[in-house]
A and B are shown apart, each in its own frame.
Chain A
């Protein structure tokens, strides 16, 4: 099998996952898109493992570890999403703007002054 097929498939899946992360508003759908991206990486690892004929099977073992880490990531991520839902009554990530600058707030160098003012207020 030509190595081009799995690597191009992985590239396409990764790009689709990037689109999902950027375009979706529901936090659970963003998590699904991240899963697609992780799967694209796994395809690459396994394809190169077969291409290099690695007798230690490093690619396959790394893919296994990525699957385990992805499971942990989904568990913690969904717990965080549930916390957000409990406090905000919504999982719309476009509406979670408390940590960003306020609309029309000064940016750049003025931001240091704003931080200083905030520190004084504290």
Chain B
């Protein structure tokens, strides 16, 4: 689209927008199934669908490195970790009705109000904002790596210390023996 500065209206939809909306529908549907399904393992598998769709939307927003990190870390390890948690806590694998608390109606009201408020606010605030994806090329894995290791080296190292602390914390928490090594 070469309409340059003036932001295109909502009537002329670009291909990226179509793909993004489809991915968004998949993500929202998967997320709704994660929080409503009666089967714990199915919830983890629907979470994979949601995370994959979100990774696709990262790709559509030019963040290719983040998209692949999402696939590797979230789908590859976090979901596996959650499945381990399901197995180790002997959650009822078959369909069971007791997964939702009795405050489900209140939770639905709160979530609907929050989502409605946030979405209305976003539409109202950014109705005219337009992301110029054609101009924004400085966003590949090359540029992301340069940004991390030139401008964000110190936070990067701090994150590695945090991961080490979390690793040691998990080991200490889940050790089986009561006293002494």
A and B held together in a complex:
yes
> A: which residues have CB within 8 A of B?
1-20, 22-29, 31-33, 35-36, 39, 42-43, 46-47, 49-51, 53, 55-58, 60-61, 63-65, 67-76, 78-83, 85, 91-92, 94
Beta-carbon contact of A56 and B122 below 8 Å:
no
Say how far A5's CB is from chain B's closest CB, in angstroms: 6
Beta-carbon contact of B28 and A23 below 8 Å:
no
Chain B residue contacts of A76, Cβ below 8 A: 166, 169-170, 173
Chain A residue contacts of B32, Cβ below 8 A: 16
Tell whether B89 is near chain A: CB-to-CB under 8 Å: yes
Interface of B is mostly: helix
Chain B residue contacts of A61, Cβ below 8 A: 144, 147-148, 151-152, 155
Beta-carbon contact of B148 and A68 below 8 Å:
no
Chain B residue contacts of A85, Cβ below 8 A: 88-90
Residues 51-92 of chain B, each 1 if its beta carbon lies under 8 Å from chain A, else 0: 100100110111101100110011001100110111011110
A12-B122 CB under 8 A given contacts A65-B155, A68-B159: no
Q: Tell me the complex Cα distance, A17–B73, Å.
A: 19
Q: What total count of A-B pairs have CB within 8 Å?
A: 269
Beta-carbon contact of B60 and A20 below 8 Å:
no
Interface of A is mostly: helix
A46-B58 CB under 8 A given contacts A28-B89, A80-B173: yes
Beta-carbon contact of B131 and A28 below 8 Å:
no
Q: Which residue of A lies closest to B108 (CB)?
A: A19
Say how far B83's CB is from chain A's closest CB, in angstroms: 9
Q: Tell me the complex Cα distance, A63–B127, Å.
A: 24
8 Å CB contact of B44 from A16, A32, A63: A32
4 pairs of A and B residues whose beta carbons are closest in the complex: A15-B115, A22-B107, A72-B166, A19-B111
